[in-house]
Amino acid sequence: MARPVFIVDGSRTPFLKARSGPGPFTPVDLAVQCGRPLLARQPFAPDSFDQVILGCVNVIADEMNPARVAALRLGMGEDMVAFTVQINCGSGMQSIDTAYRYIREGHADMILAGGTEALSHAPLVWSNSGVRWFAGLATGKGVAAKLAAAFRLRPRYLKPIIGLERGLTDPVTDLNMGQTAEVVGHLFGITRAQSDAYAAESHRRLAHAQGAGYLKGEVETAFSRDGKFFDHDDGVRPDSTAETLAKLKPVFERPWGQVTAGNSSQITDGASWVILASDAAVAKHKLTPKAAIVDSNWAALDPSIMGLGPVMSATSLLQRNGLTIKDVETWELNEAFATQVLGCLAAWNDDKFCREILGLEGAAGEIDRDKLNVDGGAISLGHPVGTSGNRIVLHLVNAMKRLGTRRGVATECIGGGLGGAMLIEAV
């Protein structure tokens, strides 16, 4: 029989907006910064876990298999099995899902599952022509051959390509993620004014949550090697309004597009962990669970409309558990783009879409905005790709506890045409 799986604790770093050049922390640095205080407050030793699973998309060359590097730096022991997972924006949720299934099936009792990403450390890369020129220079036999190769150098060979830009472009459709949001917005008639209003509200909600202390115990202060400290998500702009955001120009589809830098998620560095435990581990270590994972689900769709991934994954998840949208009291839907989030809400409330695509008898219904991303989301705090799926589960659990709600869903769109969703219940 499937065993119950509990989330007993978790923490994350502040999400730090990428500005000029690499930020103060690598992916593993970030994982360690929030992992140390999390493990230090537990009533068991760090080596008590069965394994460590960490989501990360842009793994840097100095940190191959960052899960293992982080586990060793966290003092979890040389015997700790640790591996890294990658499913683009869903990587941090995939780590939880994998841990959940291991524990549910009896293969483990306690797992540390997380996500980390330092997008500011994404590399600049050479073009293929530049690589071929360098290869010719390096393999030339003798001085004459090397000189001949050197003379074939063209300035364009040395022009770098922004690796992150290519990484956020779908290799099948050749659309970047912002363009896919434009497609979703067009399909459901989302206006620029609606997107800007949603983005401004995201900033307002995060600023309120910070001021009210709602993130205390979730966000851990990070300390860089030069002695600086970072104690809050620094991309929030409390003074944002729909009117000020309306002045920004479209980024991806000029001049008529809806998606701007102001109503998109921010390029950010950050990490997050959650501790998952079986009922046996809860009893053994006298833990107090915060919530239970009921089920999780992944779905796939056309990459050009990847933003509708939450609709596909969460709808199937709810159907499998005999639930409807109205049965969910708290939602975390990752804010890749305001236009994309609004497109998802419109799709669920569209009779034709729900009949023809989701196989429902009619519209799934309307999600109350007061139940959705109650403390803001990626538009205001950022979207470190490998981390966000973990953060939305962690914050969902904490928000449900604060609000006294029983049932919640964390869901996200995933580049490449995927969606992930997780059903959580209070205990």
Q: What is the pTM of this model?
A: 0.94
- Residue tagged active-site, from 56, 203, 344, 383: 383
* Residue pair 219/232 in contact by the 8 Å Cβ criterion: yes
Name residue 413's beta-bridge partners: 419
- Residue tagged active-site, from 56, 89, 344, 354: 89
285 is catalytic: no
How is residue 113 written in tokens? 């599952």
383 is catalytic: yes
Alpha helices per DSSP H over 252-337: 279-285, 309-320
413 is catalytic: yes
DSSP state of 249: P
Per residue of the chain (427 residues), give pLDDT as tens: 799 999 999 999 999 999 878 999 999 999 999 999 999 999 999 999 999 999 999 999 999 999 999 999 999 999 999 999 999 999 999 999 999 999 999 999 999 999 999 999 987 788 888 888 888 889 988 889 888 888 888 888 888 887 777 788 889 999 999 999 999 999 999 999 999 999 999 999 999 999 999 999 999 999 999 999 999 999 999 999 999 999 999 999 988 899 999 999 999 999 999 999 999 999 999 999 999 999 999 999 999 999 999 999 999 999 999 999 999 999 999 999 999 999 999 999 999 999 999 999 999 999 999 999 999 999 999 999 999 999 999 999 999 999 999 999 999 999 999 999 999 999 9
365 conformational bin, left if phi > 0, alpha if psi -120 to 50, beta if neither: left
